[in-house]
């Protein structure tokens, strides 16, 4: 259960609501006729479980403070150069297809906080989000905050020598979980290194410094 959860008493502005509704519509249209994920079901399930665990932890332990920072920023007249920001913004999760399925489960929870925030969420892929932002830019996050959480399950072999201090066995591969939030206080981002053996995913190193370890 969240403590000291700040959502305010006012709904999103019509501009924010229209923006996020447009994003949802764009994502739905983009998925029509899209390619199916041809990876083994066990791999998709493992990715989905990891992203689900992260999203639940983020929602239950971090989102309240992020929204409080956003409200404080709005009250202080933040983003003066780009105009005022919505203190009750849309909340966009960008992730993979497996992550979108995990997010849908999260937002289907029957508890007061989910019910209170559900209409403010859009869960889309990174490509869908970028395409929409090209059509309807919100680069200064006046209308939304963005949280990304996606698993790079195909880390190129040319990166592997930089990861040698976290060795893997023959037949295993690296996974890289990238996550972060923008639009609420300072931007936050982090990366976590996992390994996949075809059956189980295991954490190798949380908070990898990609600048020094991955290019």
Residue 142 lies in a domain: yes
- The 3-state DSSP composition of the chain as helix, strand, coil percent (nearest 5) reads 45, 20, 35
State residue 3's pLDDT score: 32
User: What average pLDDT does the chain have?
Assistant: 88
Do the beta carbons of residue 47 and residue 151 sit within 8 Å? yes
Annotate 1-40 with three-state secondary structure: CCCCCCCCCCCCCHHHHHHHHHHHHHHHHHHCCCCCCCCC
Q: 179 in the Ramachandran plot: left (φ > 0), alpha (ψ -120 to 50) or beta?
A: beta
Residue 172 lies in a domain: yes
Residue 76 pLDDT level (bands cut at 50, 70, 90): confident
Distance CA 43, CA 196 (A): 8
Q: What is the pLDDT of residues 164-206, one digit of tens each?
A: 899 999 999 999 999 999 999 889 999 999 999 999 999 999 9
The beta-carbon contacts of 70-74 under 8 Å, at least 24 apart in sequence, are 70/145, 70/183, 70/184, 70/185, 71/6, 71/8, 73/184, 73/185
For residue 64, the Cα-to-chain-centroid distance in whole angstroms is: 15
Its domain, for residue 149, covers 15-29+39-213
Q: Which residue has the tokens 């976590």?
A: 192
Q: What is the pLDDT of residues 133-154, one digit of tens each?
A: 999 999 899 999 999 999 999 9
Residue 8 lies in a domain: no
* DSSP 3-state of 211: helix
Residue 80 has pLDDT above 50, yes or no: no
Residue 3 lies in a domain: no
Residue 2 lies in a domain: no
Residue 7 lies in a domain: no
Residue 34 lies in a domain: no
State residue 206's pLDDT score: 95
Residue 50 has pLDDT above 60, yes or no: yes
The total of structural domains in the chain comes to 1
**Start-to-end Cα distance in the chain:** 38
Residue 208 lies in a domain: yes
Q: What is the pLDDT of residues 89-135, one digit of tens each?
A: 999 999 999 999 999 999 999 888 888 899 999 999 999 999 999 99
Q: What is the pLDDT of residues 57-66, one digit of tens each?
A: 999 999 999 9
């Amino acid at each position: 259960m969240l403590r000291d959860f700040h959502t305010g008493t006012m709904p999103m502005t019509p501009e924010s609501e229209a923006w996020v509704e447009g994003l949802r519509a764009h994502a739905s249209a983009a998925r029509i006729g899209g390619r199916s994920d041809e990876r083994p079901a066990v791999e998709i399930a493992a990715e989905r479980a990891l992203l689900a665990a992260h999203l639940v932890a983020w929602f239950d332990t971090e989102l309240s403070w992020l929204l409080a920072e956003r409200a404080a920023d709005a009250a202080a007249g933040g983003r003066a150069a780009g105009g005022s920001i919505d203190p009750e913004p849309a909340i966009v999760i960008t992730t993979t297809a497996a992550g979108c399925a995990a997010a849908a489960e999260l937002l289907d929870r029957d508890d007061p906080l989910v019910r209170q925030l559900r209409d403010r969420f859009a869960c889309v892929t990174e490509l869908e989000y970028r395409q929409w932002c090209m059509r309807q830019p919100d680069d200064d996050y006046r209308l939304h905050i963005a949280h990304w959480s996606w698993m790079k399950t195909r880390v190129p072999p040319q990166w592997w020598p930089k990861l040698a201090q976290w060795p893997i066995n023959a037949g295993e591969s690296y996974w890289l979980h990238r996550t972060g939030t923008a639009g609420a206080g300072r931007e936050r981002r982090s990366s976590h290194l996992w390994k996949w053996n075809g059956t189980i995913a295991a954490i190798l190193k949380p908070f990898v410094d990609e600048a020094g370890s991955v290019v």
